[in-house]
Amino acid sequence: MLSISPLLVLAAPNDTALPAVQRALRIVPAEATVQVARLPGAPPTPNRWASASVFNDPRVERLTLGVAEAPLEAQRAAVKQHVADASVRLVALSTPPDRGAIPPLDCSLVQWAAFQLPVSLLVERRVEAVPPLQQLVVPVDFSKHARAALRCAQALAETAQCRPSLMHVIERPQYVALNEMDLLALSDPTIAERQARRRAAALTRTALGVDGDALAFHLAHGDAASEIARFVQEHPVDLLVMATHGLINRSRRPLGHVVEKVLRRVVRSVLLVRTGGPPLVPEAMAALNAVDER
């Protein structure tokens, strides 16, 4: 089960972040709290804070963080302080209502949250009606970060009564291997594909404790970011689940270079699992860490 209470929905001054609120209410437990915080400024037009029924849900708690007269950096500092004080593990946002379909990192608020908040992010794309979660895709490189993303995707899928699927991109190395086995693998893509399928089965068993063939597995060849973006745009993916590669204070590419490129290209809802932050599935992550230590 996801440990995401309170879940913080962050809205820009001229927005309600309605899609993010709708998604949040679908994934949190019945006893959880969804805090909806609108940064200070002009209210949305029309003012849907009053008209949208989801804001009357008893699990919703409205907040205002910062003061209208304060500089933007001071307002954002208030958000970071609240995330720390309230032990927030997941922040949800929506892309802007007035810019159509855009990639997550084309939104300044999402970009700031992705690079500055030390917790996981859920970015819901702007749609008229938020669809139920049916197709969750987890790109994997078979690392411990991929295991964390897969475990979070499985927890979400259990809530939605569906199953996540895996995707892996086989990239050609940028060097010429001199080892005979490496040369053979490079000349025969089926060898790399068989290796990837075995590793995907092992990842599924380790992360979820189920049969290695229980989840659908998609393979592609080429540049990882390009192939992930192409697959997501060409298929009815409801949520893309990706993990960052480390702590937020890494000076270069704190999200991981593939994750950052994907977030600049896809127009889909995304769950960004912060592997260096508080875990969304604490019990499962403790078990996975114990496996690593052994």
Backbone angles phi, psi at 201, to 5 degrees: -65, -40
Confidence of residue 249 (pLDDT cuts 50, 70, 90): very low
Mean pLDDT confidence for 77-96: 94
Nearest partner of 104 among 263, 272, 274, 273, judged by Cα: 263
Contacts (Cβ under 8 Å, ≥6 apart) of 29: 1, 5
Q: Is the C-alpha dihedral spanning 75, 119, 254, 242 positive or negative?
A: negative
Rounded CA gap, 149 and 198, in Å?
A: 19
Mean pLDDT confidence for 243-266: 77
DSSP state at residue 104 = G
Show the tokens assigned to 9.
């929905």
| 121 beta partners | 91, 272
Percent of the chain that is helix, strand, coil (3-state, to 5): 40, 15, 45
Is the pLDDT at 24 greater than 90? The verdict is yes
Q: Give residue limits of the domains in the chain.
A: 7-124, 136-268+275-293
Mean pLDDT confidence for 255-276: 92
Show the tokens assigned to 151.
């475990």
In CATH terms, the fold of domain 136-268+275-293 is Rossmann fold (3.40.50)
Q: SS3 sequence, 49-88?
A: HHHCHHHHCCCEEEECCCCCCCCHHHHHHHHHHHHHHCCC
Please state the pTM of the whole predicted model: 0.88
Mean pLDDT confidence for 36-63: 72
**CATH says 7-124 is which class?**
alpha beta
Q: What is the pLDDT of residues 90-147, one digit of tens each?
A: 999 999 877 778 999 999 999 999 999 999 999 999 887 888 999 999 999 999 899 9
Mean pLDDT confidence for 189-209: 90
Check for a shared fold between 7-124 and 136-268+275-293: yes
DSSP state at residue 105 = G
